[in-house]
Amino acid sequence: MALIDIEDVHFGYPGQDPVLKGANLRLEPGQRLSLTGANGAGKSTLLRLILGLQRPDSGTIRIFGIPRVSEADFHEVRRRVGLVFQDPDDQLFCPTVTEDVAFGPLNLGRSREEALEMVDRVLRDLGLTHLRDRITHKLSGGEKRLVTLATVLVMEPEALLLDEPTNALDPRNEARLLEILDALPQAILLVSHDPRFRDRLAPDSVELSEGKLIPA
C-alpha cells in the first residue's frame, strides 16, 4: 500500500491558470523521492494538497490507503505526516524552543511531563540540547530550521514532506541535516533546488512540469 497516492489531481487558485492538470504521484513506505520543477511549477502547492491545506478541484488524494476528502480525514493525515515548511517562521510561534517543540505533543493530549521528555529526547537526537531554553525568534535562520525539524520529528510522523530544508543552512549544518535525515526510516518527499542535496538524500525524482508529474 502506498503512503501517498495522488491520482489525476487538478487544482488552480481562484482566478488563476490551473497549477495541477492531472497530477499523479505515489510514495511507498521507506521511499525517498525528490520533487523537482521550475519556480512556480506547483511543488509547494502539491505538498499543501497532501496535507489538505488546499483541496483539489478534481481527482483523488489517498493517504495511508484511505481517500481523503473531509477536514477530519486531513486532521489525521496532519498528525501522521510531517511537513517542514519552506519558511521556519510559518512553523515556530512559541516564545521558547522547548515550548515550540512541546506544542504538538501537548496538543495531542500528552501530559506536560511526557511532552518535556519527548522534547529532551528529540533535541538530544538532533544535537540541539543547547538551544532548549533559547527564545525562538532570536535564533539564527539555520538554528530555526533545525528546531522546525524537531517540532516535526517529535510527533513521530510516518512520512516527511520537506520543502527546501537546506535554505539558510551553512555547509556544516547542511551536512548535519543530511546525516540526520539519512538515518531516518520514514519515507521522504523532498522539494529542494539544491541538486547535490537531492542526489545524496533522495536521488529518485519526479519533475512537476505543466501541471503533471514526469519521472526524471
Ligand X SMILES: Nc1ncnc2c1ncn2[C@@H]1O[C@H](COP(=O)(O)OP(=O)(O)OP(=O)(O)O)[C@@H](O)[C@H]1O
Inter-CA distances, 69 with 50, 74, 107, Å: 11, 7, 23
Which of 78, 84, 200, 181 is closest to 125 using CA atoms?
A: 181
Selected from 20, 41, 115, 187, the binder of ligand X by CB under 6 A is: 41
Q: In the stretch 70-109, what mask flags binding to ligand X with x, by CB under 6 A?
A: ----------------------------------------
37 binds ligand X, rule: CB under 6 A: yes
Least distance to ligand X, CB of residue 55, Å: 13
45 binds ligand X, rule: CB under 6 A: yes
From the CB of residue 67, how many other CB atoms can be counted at a distance below 10 Å? 11
Grid coordinates given for 51? 496535507
42 binds ligand X, rule: CB under 6 A: yes
19 binds ligand X, rule: CB under 6 A: yes
Alpha helices in 126-165 (DSSP H): 141-153
Inter-CA distances, 174 with 22, 165, 199, Å: 34, 9, 14
Site for ligand X, residues 110 to 139, rule: CB under 6 A = none
Which of 164, 175, 163 is closest to 200 using CA atoms?
A: 175
Three-class SS state of 105: helix
151 binds ligand X, rule: CB under 6 A: no
Select 14 or 185, whichever has its Cβ closest to ligand X.
14
Select 19 or 153, whichever has its Cβ closest to ligand X.
19
Stretch that binds ligand X, among 34-42, 58-66, 72-80, 91-99 (CB under 6 A): 34-42
Least distance to ligand X, CB of residue 37, Å: 5
Helix count and strand count (H, E) for the chain:
7, 10
162 binds ligand X, rule: CB under 6 A: no
Which residues, at least 6 apart from 179, have a Cβ–Cβ distance to it below 8 Å?
A: none
Least distance to ligand X, CB of residue 46, Å: 7
- Residue ranges binding ligand X (CB under 6 A): 13, 16, 19, 37, 39-45
